[in-house]
Chain A
Amino acid sequence: MGRRVPSLPPGMRSHRQHPGAPVRGDDRTMVSITQTMGKRRPRGRGERTNPWAYLFIAPAVGLYLVFSVWPIFRGIAMAFTDFRFIYPDTRWEFNGFSNFREMWSDEDFWNAVRVTIRFTLYVLPATVILALILAIAISRVTRMAGFYRWMVYLPVILPVAVTYLMFGQLFNTKFGLINMVLRETFSIRRPPRWLDDPDYALRALALTDIWRGVGFPTLLFLIGIYGIGTELYEAASVDGATGWQQFRSITLPLLKPVFALVLLLGLSSTPMVVDPMLILTGGGPRDSTTSLGLYAYQTAFQLGDLRLGYAAAMNLVLGMSSAVVALIVFRSLRGDEGPSGPRRFPWRRAGAESTQTTSA
Chain B
Amino acid sequence: MVSTPSTIPAASPKPALLPDQQANRPPRWKQFWRSDWYWHLFMIAVLLVTFVPIIWMVSTSLKDRLGFAEDPAGLIPRNPTLINYRYMLTAVENVPIYMRNSFTLAIGTALLQVFVASLAGYAFARMNFRGKNLILTLLIVSVFIPRSGGLMALYELMTFLHLRNSLIGLILLFAANVPVPIFIMRQAFLAIPKEIEEAAILDGASWFRVYRQIALPLALGGMVIVATLAFITAWSDYLVTFTMIDLDSQMTISVGIQKVLSNSYQSALTAPQFRGQLTGETSDAAMLLTATLPVILFYALLQRWFMRGLTEGAVKL
Whether, in the assembled complex, B218 has its beta carbon less than 8 Å from a beta carbon of chain A, the answer is: no
Known pairs A161-B257, A219-B311; A68 contacts B142 (CB<8 A):
yes
B residues in contact with A75, CB < 8 Å = 147, 149-153
Q: How many residues from A make CB contacts under 8 Å with B?
A: 116
Q: Are A142 and B7 within 8 A (Cβ)?
A: yes
Q: Are A56 and B36 within 8 A (Cβ)?
A: no
Q: Are B128 and A49 within 8 A (Cβ)?
A: yes
Please give the distance in Å from A323's CB to the nearest CB on chain B. 6
Residues 185-218 of B at the A interface (beta carbon under 8 Å): 187, 191, 207-208, 211
Q: Mark B38-71, 1 if CB is under 8 A from A, else 0.
A: 0110110011001111101100000000000000
Q: Mark A48-66, 1 if CB is under 8 A from B, else 0.
A: 1111111011011101101
Q: Are B258 and A161 within 8 A (Cβ)?
A: yes
Q: Are A167 and B53 within 8 A (Cβ)?
A: yes
Whether, in the assembled complex, A350 has its beta carbon less than 8 Å from a beta carbon of chain B, the answer is: no
Chain B binder among A24-32, A189-197, A341-349:
A24-32
Q: Are A275 and B239 within 8 A (Cβ)?
A: yes
Q: Are A318 and B307 within 8 A (Cβ)?
A: no
Residues 117-135 of B at the A interface (beta carbon under 8 Å): 117, 119-120, 122-124, 127-130, 132-133, 135
Residues 109-165 of A at the B interface (beta carbon under 8 Å): 134, 136-138, 140-142, 144, 146, 148-162, 165
Tell me which of A19, A150, A162, A293 contacts B257 (CB under 8 A): A162
Known pairs A59-B120, A159-B236; A300 contacts B155 (CB<8 A):
yes
B residues in contact with A233, CB < 8 Å = 3
Could you list 18 further interchain pairs (A-B, Cβ under 8 angstroms) beyond the known A30-B312, A59-B120, A68-B142? A16-B8, A47-B128, A59-B115, A60-B119, A75-B153, A137-B46, A141-B36, A150-B307, A159-B235, A159-B254, A160-B239, A166-B57, A244-B1, A246-B1, A269-B146, A308-B152, A308-B155, A315-B149
Residues 49-108 of A at the B interface (beta carbon under 8 Å): 49-54, 56-57, 59-61, 63-64, 66-72, 74-76, 78-79, 83, 85, 91
Chain A binder among B16-24, B89-97, B176-184, B270-278:
B176-184
Whether, in the assembled complex, B224 has its beta carbon less than 8 Å from a beta carbon of chain A, the answer is: no
Tell me which of A41, A53, A149, A165 contacts B128 (CB under 8 A): A53
Q: Are A63 and B172 within 8 A (Cβ)?
A: yes
- C-alpha gap A66/B291 in the complex (Å): 31
Task: Report the nearest B residue to A172, measured CB to CB.
Answer: B281
Most B-side CB within 10 Å, residue of A47, A161, A175, A297: A161
Interface of B is mostly: helix
Tell me which of B145, B281, B296 contacts A175 (CB under 8 A): B281
Whether, in the assembled complex, A12 has its beta carbon less than 8 Å from a beta carbon of chain B, the answer is: no
Whether, in the assembled complex, A312 has its beta carbon less than 8 Å from a beta carbon of chain B, the answer is: yes
Please give the distance in Å from B256's CB to the nearest CB on chain A. 9
Task: Report the nearest A residue to B281, measured CB to CB.
Answer: A175
Q: Are A177 and B56 within 8 A (Cβ)?
A: yes
- C-alpha gap A134/B96 in the complex (Å): 39
Whether, in the assembled complex, A22 has its beta carbon less than 8 Å from a beta carbon of chain B, the answer is: yes
Q: Are B3 and A230 within 8 A (Cβ)?
A: yes
Whether, in the assembled complex, B168 has its beta carbon less than 8 Å from a beta carbon of chain A, the answer is: no
Most A-side CB within 10 Å, residue of B43, B46, B135: B43
Whether, in the assembled complex, A181 has its beta carbon less than 8 Å from a beta carbon of chain B, the answer is: yes
Please give the distance in Å from A47's CB to the nearest CB on chain B. 4
Tell me which of B120, B257, B300, B312 contacts A60 (CB under 8 A): B120
Tell me which of B172, B285, B307 contacts A149 (CB under 8 A): B307
Task: Report the nearest B residue to A231, measured CB to CB.
Answer: B13
Tell me which of A68, A154, A181, A216 contacts B73 (CB under 8 A): A181
Known pairs A246-B1, A274-B148, A315-B151; A279 contacts B46 (CB<8 A):
no
Q: Are B281 and A169 within 8 A (Cβ)?
A: yes
Whether, in the assembled complex, A237 has its beta carbon less than 8 Å from a beta carbon of chain B, the answer is: yes
B residues in contact with A151, CB < 8 Å = 47, 50-51
Whether, in the assembled complex, B15 has its beta carbon less than 8 Å from a beta carbon of chain A, the answer is: no
Q: Are A71 and B50 within 8 A (Cβ)?
A: no
Whether, in the assembled complex, A204 has its beta carbon less than 8 Å from a beta carbon of chain B, the answer is: no
B residues in contact with A230, CB < 8 Å = 3, 5, 8
Please give the distance in Å from A69's CB to the nearest CB on chain B. 7
Q: Are A272 and B146 within 8 A (Cβ)?
A: yes
Known pairs A149-B307, A167-B53, A301-B155; A140 contacts B1 (CB<8 A):
yes
Tell me which of B73, B253, B308 contacts A24 (CB under 8 A): B308
Q: Mark B297-317, 1 if CB is under 8 A from A, else 0.
A: 001100100011011111111
Tell me which of A91, A184, A319 contacts B149 (CB under 8 A): A319
Q: Are A278 and B242 within 8 A (Cβ)?
A: yes
Please give the distance in Å from B41's CB to the nearest CB on chain A. 10
Known pairs A159-B236, A181-B73; A71 contacts B154 (CB<8 A):
yes
Known pairs A56-B127, A146-B307; A141 contacts B154 (CB<8 A):
no
Q: Are A22 and B236 within 8 A (Cβ)?
A: no
Q: Are B152 and A142 within 8 A (Cβ)?
A: no
- C-alpha gap A318/B72 in the complex (Å): 42
Whether, in the assembled complex, A202 has its beta carbon less than 8 Å from a beta carbon of chain B, the answer is: no
- C-alpha gap A161/B40 in the complex (Å): 31
Whether, in the assembled complex, B11 has its beta carbon less than 8 Å from a beta carbon of chain A, the answer is: yes
Q: Are A165 and B147 within 8 A (Cβ)?
A: no
Whether, in the assembled complex, B10 has its beta carbon less than 8 Å from a beta carbon of chain A, the answer is: yes
Known pairs A61-B120, A312-B152; A19 contacts B1 (CB<8 A):
no
Please give the distance in Å from B311's CB to the nearest CB on chain A. 6
Whether, in the assembled complex, B111 has its beta carbon less than 8 Å from a beta carbon of chain A, the answer is: no
A residues in contact with B247, CB < 8 Å = none
Q: Which 4 A-B pairs have the closest CB atoms?
A: A243-B1, A71-B150, A30-B313, A315-B149
